Every structure is written in C-alpha cells, then in structure tokens.
Amino acid sequence: MLKSSVLASSLLLACPLAHGQIFQRELGDFDLKLGTSPSRSMAQGLVKPSSSGSFHGGLDLSHDSGWYFGQWTPSMGLSPSSNLEVDSYLGFKQPFDQTLGYEVGLIRYNYPQLRTQDSQEFYGGLTVLGSRFGAAFSNDPDKRNSTLFADLGGNPPFGIGVSVKYTTHQLNTAVALANGRYVADFNDWSIKLSRPWLGIDLNLIYSDSSLSGNECSAYSGHNTECDGLLTFKAERAFY
C-alpha cells in the first residue's frame, strides 16, 4: 500500500496540470480522488492533512455507504532536509440529513526513513445545524494529546465565524527546566474569528498556553508561540 501511494503521488507531481488541483473519477459506487492538495479534512475539520514539503500528493477513496480510505504524503523526502512521511486514514462519515451528521476514524502517521515509532490519532466529529464539533486523541512518540474543537460557523447578523480549539499534552518524559523544576504536561488553546469580505477570508486568531517564562522551553504544542499571540490573516484564493 505504501508503494502504491508513493507511486500515485509521484505521477501526480510529474504532471504540471495537477499542481494544486484534484483529479476526481467515479468507479461504480466508489469516488476516487488524486491530487497534490489534500482532498479531505477529518473530524468535521479538526484533523487536516498538511502540505509541508515541496513535493506532496495523495489519494482518497470513498464509498456511497459512508466509508472512506486514503493516504496523504505531505513530504516525499526528495530533498536532504526532508523525510518521507505517509499518512494513512480510514473512517466513516454519515449525514442523517442536511443539518445533522457524524464522523469517526483513525489516521496513522508513518516515517519509513526514520527510526521513530509510528503515531496514531483517533478522531470523531458531529455536525449540528451548521455548527461543527470534533475530538481527537493521538499517541505521538514523545507525548499524548487530547483535543476538543468547536466551529460555530458564520452566524447572523454579522456573519462572523467563531472556532475554538483546546488541547491537553501529556509528555512521556518530563522536561527539566533551568531552575530545577520539571514540566510533565501542559495545555494550549486558540480562538479564531473569521469573516469573508469581497472574496477575501479575514481571520483574527488569539493563541496561548499554560506555560510562561522559562517554562516555554518545554513547549511543543499546536500554536506557533508558547505565550499569548494575536495574529491577523487575510487570504484570497486565485483558483
């Protein structure tokens, strides 16, 4: 399965027309997607495959019953500074109707070129009246993470979307600080306000963690910074 994923990704990367796009084809009751952009987010948007390397690609196969399977390679490991990574996932997604649905699944992160233990992540999501809620539990080589997520969508009258994420990190080995103390666990969180404007996605994000000062030397969470950080982003898709 690993060879087939790498081969499919390589063929896509060799085609200039496939850059940043997804090729889709129906095979009976199955829907096959190949592309150099992630074709799926999981747990109703909580778990999203990332594109970290210059060469990346993957495939996604779903069935009318709700079952889906896929492999995503965020890095092909072709440059000296990168390593091959293959993320394989299996899940089930079923809408009861247009306002209620759920999803559960498992994703496995594999690094064939490294002598590191593979990691797994269990995830689940629920959609209620346009709002999304998700939970994920991962077992990384160095820590265990438990994440809760809520996306309330764009609610009237201002159409401002609100999403919140909170994660607890439990380190397998406590990190020693310069003052002799140890950090064995920590939490981090973020809240994002978003609104579309003239074709531009405007995002205001605040993130923080339970660590501060010299404790930040032990930080390895989801946020870009350990301490409180306010970020403004404006994004526009051109294709």
Per residue in 22-35, pLDDT (tens digit) is: 788 888 889 999 88
Average pLDDT over residues 209-228: 92
Token pair 């269990």: residue: 122
Between CA 226 and CA 54 the distance in angstroms is: 27
Between CA 59 and CA 38 the distance in angstroms is: 9
Average pLDDT over residues 45-61: 77
* pLDDT grade for 43, boundaries at 50, 70 and 90: confident
Q: What is the pLDDT of residue 157?
A: 61
pLDDT at 127 over 70: yes
pLDDT at 236 over 50: yes
Q: How would you class 127 by CB atoms within 10 Å of its CB: exposed for 0-12, middle for 13-18, buried for 19 or more?
A: buried
Between CA 53 and CA 81 the distance in angstroms is: 10
Per the CB < 8 A criterion, the answer to whether 33 and 9 are in contact is no
Average pLDDT, the chain: 83
Q: What is the pLDDT of residue 129?
A: 84
Longest dimension (CA), the chain: 63
pLDDT at 1 over 60: no
Token pair 């993470």: residue: 145
Query: 166 φ, ψ to 5°?
Result: -135, 130
Q: Which two tokens stand for residue 143?
A: 């820590």
H runs (alpha helix) in 75-123: none
* pLDDT grade for 82, boundaries at 50, 70 and 90: confident
Q: What is the pLDDT of residue 73?
A: 87
pLDDT at 197 over 60: yes
List C-alpha distances in Å: 59 to 49, 121, 125, 166. Answer: 12, 19, 22, 30
Q: Per-residue pLDDT tens for 6-22? A: 434 443 443 333 345 77
Q: Which of 48-57, 58-67, 199-208 has the lowest mean pLDDT?
A: 48-57
- Cross-strand pairs, 85: 75
Q: What is the pLDDT of residue 134?
A: 94
Average pLDDT over residues 119-146: 91
